[in-house]
Amino acid sequence: MTFKCLALFTLVAAASAVVLPYAVKHVEYADAPAEYHFSYSVHDGHTGDVKSQTEERHGDAVKGQYSLIDADGHQRVVDYTADDHNGFNAVVRRDPLAHKTIVPVAKVVAPIAHHYVAPVAKYAYPSYYHH
């Protein structure tokens, strides 16, 4: 029985050694510069969430813009660039909106707190304790 198990183990090991080099594949990627462009926007009338962003990258240079509505009704717009020479740079501007955007706020009424005085514990020291 031991001989059969040893023979089976040897056969499986030999088969794995033959198949394994062909199963592993090394993939090399070209050193191409990164290129992408994306954008998104949200305009939710129910919550008042209004924002957007666009960004593009060509090699190591990134350029983009995002905007959102601040709580005080101004639109914040941020234009930014980033590259190896200048680093990250952003220009922020705040523009008042032509119409006032009202962001709904949840109104919660807190219950009135009742005046409560906690009882004071009184403790008498034993007679043998001296200060």
Burial 24-33 (b: 16+ CB within 10 A, else e): eeeeeeeeee
What is the span of the domain harbouring residue 43?
30-96
Q: What total of structural domains would you count in the chain?
A: 1
Residue 70 lies in a domain: yes
User: Is 107 inside any structural domain?
Assistant: no
Structural domain contains residue 127: no
Is 8 among the domain residues? no
Q: Give 11's pLDDT tier (boundaries 50, 70, 90).
A: low
Q: Which two tokens stand for residue 2?
A: 């031991």
Q: 56 versus 115: which is more confidently predicted?
A: 56
> Any alpha helices (H) in the chain, and if so which ranges?
2-23
Task: Give the pair of three-digit tokens for residue 115.
Answer: 């005046």
User: Within the chain, how many helices (H) and strands (E) appear?
Assistant: 1, 5
Per the DSSP assignment, residues forming a β-bridge with 41 are 52
Tokens of 50: 């209004």
Q: Is the residue at 120 inside a domain?
A: no
Question: pLDDT class for 101, splitting at 50, 70, 90?
Answer: low
